[in-house]
Amino acid sequence: MIPRIYIPGDSGALALGAEKVAKAIANELAERGIEAKIVRNGSRGAYFLEPMVEVATAAGRVAYGPVKPSDVKSLFDSGFLKGGHHKRWLGAPDKIPFLAKQTRLTFARCGINDPLSLDAYKSLGGLKGLQNAVAMAPADIVKQVTESGLRGRGGAGFPTGIKWKTVLDTADERKYIVCNADEGDSATFADRMIMEGDPFVLIEGMAIAGIATGATKGFVYIRSEYPHAVAMMNKAVEVARKAGVLGVNVLGSPNAFDMEIRVGAGAYVCGEETSLLNSLEGKRGVVRAKPPLPAIQGLFGKPTVINNVISLASVPVIMDKGAAFYKDFGMGRSRGTIPIQIAGNVKQGGLFEAAFGMTLGEIVDDIGAGTATGRPVKAVQVGGPLGAYFPRALFDTPFDYEEFAKRDGLIGHAGITVFDDTADMLKQARFAMEFCAIESCGKCTPCRIGSTRGVETIDKIAGGIEPEKNIALVTDLCNTMKFGSLCALGGFTPYPVMSALTHFRDDFKPAPVAEAAE
Amino acid sequence: MTMQAASTEIASRTAAIVQDMKGLEGPLLPILHGIQEEFGHVPQASLPIIAEALNISNAEVHGVVTFYHDYRSHPAGRHVLKVCQAEACQSMGSDAVAAKLKQLLGIGFHETTKDGSVTLEPVYCLGLCACAPSAMLDGEVIGRLDDEKLDEIVAEVRS
């Protein structure tokens, strides 16, 4: 058997030098006259081990990482093609603690094989969900998704099945499935990883959504900052079309479904669903007032399912293994699994899919293993730029939509940014307002003007100008933004600001050093 | 090339792109992406041609072009360097990274060096948050930026 070497083509791995490693391995193979097949897989998500190279041996896969180009010669010398020992040796990838502790449902296949091999996809259970779906009545598919308890993974947490039911029940000759792949929140990369590492699961999920609701056309709106994901999705759609997964007869059934990949143009607010629809229509990405709901009047005024990548990519496993199987994971009203993205100043950063219910402390301290700098953790921001900053005192909060809401936070798209004790929380609060000002679509006043005034007022606090009065002003402003904005951009910017103010008040005191220097 | 010849040239190349994509549902963004790829920016002269073909007003096209951060009104430098300034990268010192790049290149954000070699831009998240701080040079991603990698980047854009 020709040895197979797996080198991730995922952009996270590429950012850490996977391409150079691939070249070095190819050169070494040529130089030594060894015949081997190099497979470019996705990433399994343990970014602290990337580039993680795997070889297929008689006893299964053996992983090495993080591999540097300078390691390649010695890897060959150590007989890595047969799993030989080396300082980068990690053993069987699924035994690596960071990966072994996970519950991989949505990411079950991500990073294992060539993302564009439909055979590899099928060999690991792919397309079973869609096969089941084409034999079912639309209402039964919707029922199964509803019963699974799946909620929108983009951040809002709205029950996916309910959304689908509205579209199913709204009669129209044309309906759409829109996938929100405008993953703009810092600390999130789950959508990117799926699109680059297991694109067929998203395509399968969208096809199921189409059959369930009577929609025949899908769009994936991917942000322009993700060129690798765009390229991969375009190729995967081609493969799926040729194989009859997409087209006029999905898997040979009478159901038609096809899709197009569209690219955003650098506007964060287009991650908001109604802005995204406007953008797809070729308009400015301004927010629409709701109602009408997109499920009734969405893209081009037609009934539209708009779901996040992870919501749609979680559907195939639900249709394959059943609603009860999925619902069995999790806690409270947060059912199933959630891909937690551990990022920022953290020793073991990466994607960790787990059932809902782990505490924030377990995620940061046990899974993430503390900060990369080795300093104490000061704060973690959960849910991207619109999420709250949590101090260590709240690390007992379980990962659950309602539990986070109880503590004035949100899980959002489940990204976690870790900050060490050098972080200045006033600066972070200011950034939240500044970011809102840069990205505001301008439609509603609290967001458009409030964000700019917020920056100015926080600057006054930093400058020691009437700090108590200005803190009260920021608090009042946050209240206006929270309740007066049309969408989550203006409405949630208060989360990082107020949490910084509430939990890290010391950082908002005027710096005594600056006064002494004058 | 005279000004008039240049604008005729822009018009014909724009028309070809518009013709190619106008059958899409919601064709404006794909068209603008196509035009930016063709010219390196979205020339003013392209706008009326798009408006005419899509049967919308010049103002609407102008509104869309100026709404999105990606569309340029002028060509960028030969290289485009985007440095992530979002929270995950902030936690790993992206402020210092940006300051060092500005100093090494002698330009600020949204500026191009005098020799036209590189344009420096902030970006808010590249999805490389577990490999922070990160950047993108002409579409190539770079993670865990340190002084050595910054020097390499600067050497590359200057060569």
Residue A511: pLDDT above 90? no
Same domain, B119 and B152: yes
A108: in domain: no
Tell me if A236 sits within 8 A of A194, measured CB to CB. Answer: no
Which residue of chain B has the CA closest to A423?
B91
pLDDT band at A512 (very low <50, low <70, confident <90, very high): low
* End position of a domain, from candidates A381, A404, A420: A420
Contact residues, chain A, for B64 at CB < 8 Å = 282-284
pLDDT band at B101 (very low <50, low <70, confident <90, very high): very high
**How would you write chain B as a 3-class SS string?**
CCHHHHHHHHHHHHHHHHHHHCCCCCCHHHHHHHHHHHHCCCCCCHHHHHHHHHCCCHHHHHHHHHHCCCCCCCCCCCEEEEEECCHHHHCCCHHHHHHHHHHHHCCCCCEECCCCCEEEEEECCCCCHHHCCCEEECCEEECCCCHHHHHHHHHHHHC
Same domain, B84 and B139: yes
A111: in domain: no
A113: in domain: no
B74: in domain: no
Residue with tokens 């869309």: B64
pLDDT value for B109: 98
Same domain, A291 and A345: no
Task: Average the pLDDT over A32-37 and give the result.
Answer: 96
Q: Is A182 on the interface with B (CB under 8 A)?
A: no
Q: Which of A186, A281, A282 sits opposite B124 (nearest CB)?
A: A186
Q: Is A279 on the interface with B (CB under 8 A)?
A: yes
Q: Which of A12, A217, A286 sits opposite B128 (nearest CB)?
A: A12
Q: ipTM for the complex?
A: 0.96
Residue A517: pLDDT above 50? no
Q: Is A332 on the interface with B (CB under 8 A)?
A: no
A510: in domain: yes
CB contact (8 A) between residue A225 and residue B69: no
Same domain, B57 and B88: no
Q: Is A187 on the interface with B (CB under 8 A)?
A: yes
**How does pLDDT run across A174-225, given as a tens digit for each residue?**
999 999 999 999 999 999 999 999 999 999 999 999 999 999 999 999 999 9
Residue A47: pLDDT above 60? yes
Strand partners, A480: none
Whole-prediction pTM: 0.97
Q: Which of B70, B91, B128 sits opposite A11 (nearest CB)?
A: B128
Same domain, B121 and B90: yes
pLDDT value for A518: 44
Residue B1: pLDDT above 70? no
CB contact (8 A) between residue B124 and residue A418: no
Q: Which of B27, B67, B141 sits opposite A14 (nearest CB)?
A: B141
Amino acid at position A400, single letter? D
- Of B96, B82, B95, the residue nearest B128 (C-alpha): B82
- SS3 state of residue A380: strand
Same domain, A144 and A252: yes
Q: How far apart are CA A353 and CA A119, in angstroms?
A: 24
Q: Is A369 on the interface with B (CB under 8 A)?
A: no
pLDDT value for A516: 47
Q: How many domains does chain A have?
A: 4
Same domain, A415 and A482: no
Which residue of chain A has the CA closest to B127?
A189
Q: How far apart are CA A197 and CA A190, in angstroms?
A: 10
Q: Structural domain of residue A9, as residue ranges?
A: 4-100
Tell me if A83 sits within 8 A of A62, measured CB to CB. Answer: yes
Q: Which of A47, A266, A350 sits opposite B68 (nearest CB)?
A: A266
Same domain, A128 and A277: yes
Instruction: End-to-end CA distance of chain A: give it in Å, rounded.
Output: 75
Which residue of chain B has the CA closest to A11?
B141
Task: Average the pLDDT over B47-71 and give the result.
Answer: 97
CB contact (8 A) between residue A344 and residue B92: yes
Same domain, A398 and A437: no
Contact residues, chain A, for B32 at CB < 8 Å = 265
Task: Average the pLDDT over B49-74 and give the result.
Answer: 97
Same domain, A93 and A139: no
Contact residues, chain B, for A264 at CB < 8 Å = 29, 68, 70
Q: How far apart are CA A216 and CA A195, in angstroms?
A: 21
A169: in domain: yes
**How many residue pairs bridge chain A and chain B with CB atoms within 8 Å of each other?**
159
Task: Average the pLDDT over A336-352 and give the result.
Answer: 98
CB contact (8 A) between residue A266 and residue B128: no
Q: Rounded to the nearest 10 degrees, what angle do helices B94-105 and B147-158 cross at?
A: 30
pLDDT value for A510: 74
Residue B54: pLDDT above 70? yes
pLDDT value for B2: 66
Residue B5: pLDDT above 90? no
Tell me if A59 sits within 8 A of A41, measured CB to CB. Answer: no
Same domain, B120 and B141: yes
Q: How far apart are CA A261 and CA B109, in angstroms?
A: 30
B11: in domain: yes
Residue B137: pLDDT above 80? yes
Tell me if A317 sits within 8 A of A200, measured CB to CB. Answer: no
Task: Average the pLDDT over B109-129 and give the result.
Answer: 97
Contacts with B80 (C-beta within 8 Å, 6 or more apart), sequence order: B118, B119, B121, B137, B138
A106: in domain: no
Residue A513: pLDDT above 60? no
Same domain, B83 and B63: no
Same domain, A319 and A373: no
Same domain, A70 and A94: yes
CB contact (8 A) between residue A15 and residue B28: no
- SS3 state of residue A342: strand
**How does pLDDT run across A63-106, given as a tens digit for each residue?**
999 999 999 999 999 999 999 999 999 999 999 999 999 999 99
A56: in domain: yes
- SS3 state of residue A350: strand
User: How far B45 CA sits from the closest chain A CA (Å)?
Assistant: 19
B125: in domain: yes
pLDDT value for A283: 98
pLDDT value for B159: 83
CB contact (8 A) between residue A186 and residue B26: no
Q: Look up residue A301 and give its two tokens.
A: 């005024």
CATH code of B129's domain: 3.40.30.10
State the best of A176, A182, A186, A232 to mutate against chain B, taking most chain B CBs within 10 Å: A186
Tell me if B127 sits within 8 A of A188, measured CB to CB. Answer: yes
**How does pLDDT run across A290-317, given as a tens digit for each residue?**
999 999 999 999 999 999 999 999 999 9
User: How far B113 CA sits from the closest chain A CA (Å)?
Assistant: 23
Which residue of chain B has the CA closest to A418?
B91
Q: Which helix (H) or strand (E) holds A61?
A: strand A60-64
Angle among Cα A128, A132, A138 to the nearest 5 degrees reads 140
Strands (E), A266-336: 304-308, 330-331, 334-335
Same domain, B13 and B40: yes
Q: What is the mean pLDDT of chain A?
A: 97
State the best of B64, B92, B119, B156 to mutate against chain A, taking most chain A CBs within 10 Å: B92
Same domain, B100 and B144: yes
pLDDT value for A231: 98
Q: Structural domain of residue B28, as residue ranges?
A: 3-67
CATH code of A334's domain: 3.10.20.600
Q: DSSP class of residue A269?
A: G
Q: How far apart are CA A395 and CA A278, in angstroms?
A: 39
Same domain, A268 and A355: no
Which residue of chain A has the CA closest to B140?
A15
**How does pLDDT run across A123-176, given as a tens digit for each residue?**
999 999 999 999 999 999 999 999 999 999 998 899 999 999 999 999 999 999
Tell me if A226 sits within 8 A of B127, measured CB to CB. Answer: yes
